[in-house]
Amino acid sequence: MNSQDNEKRKRFEKEAIIHIDSLHRTALRMTRNEDDASDLVQEAMVKAYRFWDKYEEGSNARAWLYKIMTNIFINNYRSKSRAPQTVAYEDIDDNFLFGQLSSLKPGPNPEEEFFARVFDDDVKGAIEKLPEDFRVVVVLSFLDGFSYQEISDIAGLNIGTVKSRLHRGRKLLQKSLWDYARHNGFVIKDDDSEEPNNNEEAS
């Protein structure tokens, strides 16, 4: 290995390899399969190393790696999955569950607070059941903490689409997590409080 290759390897280890665990967690949430997740991360890291000269040193290596991995997932792995799911989300009240969480402990991002406190099999299962397009942006936003602009860059979507998919993903998640949140004390139901109304048209 010449000195140039040795320097490239050292830079890659310093700025890219440190994110491999985070990449694998996200890959697992995207693919819902341990073997596919491992393969996806491996492909992403191989491609990242091959094009490491395109990476601007000192910039956001994490976002750059996620973009590579997400593109591989969208182009390759999603084709292995079954046909896209059709869902009816219009009948779910906007922001009901996470609005309740926010009212109990105000914060700018109640979803992030919720997932920071608990991420067990039930919560994981709720995310995994999301239709794929929604699942990708939900994972990148709520679990990995990327901004709208970063998700737009990573997933190759315009910001309006990112916001729309997050909005719809949020509605689907809060519906599936409502009973879980009640049972585990994340929300408190008073006698006068209302549960999610499936009949009211969402705004």
For 96-183, CATH gives 1.10.10.10
pLDDT digits (tens, 9 = 90+) for 188-201: 554 434 444 444 43
Contact of 175 with 196, CB cutoff 8 Å: yes
User: d(Cα 201, Cα 91) in Å, to the nearest integer?
Assistant: 5
User: Domain segments of the chain: what residues?
Assistant: 3-80, 96-183
Give me the helices (H) in the chain, please: 3-15, 20-31, 34-50, 61-75, 96-104, 110-117, 121-128, 132-138, 148-155, 159-183
> Stretch 46-52: mean pLDDT, rounded?
93
Q: Does pTM top 0.85 for this prediction? A: no
CA 109/CA 93 separation, integer angstroms:
18
C-alpha span between 97 and 110 (Å, rounded):
10
Residues 165, 137 contacting (CB under 8 angstroms): yes
Q: For the domain bounded by 3-80, which CATH number is listed?
A: 1.10.1740.10
Structure tokens of 45?
């890291």
pLDDT at 1 over 70: no
- The whole-chain average pLDDT of the chain stands at 76
| Predicted confidence (pLDDT) per residue in 105-127, tens digit | 555 566 666 665 555 567 778 88
Distance CA 36, CA 115 (A): 24
Is the Cβ–Cβ distance between 126 and 38 less than 8 Å? no
Q: What is the pLDDT of residue 68?
A: 95
Say whether 96-183 and 3-80 share the same fold.
no
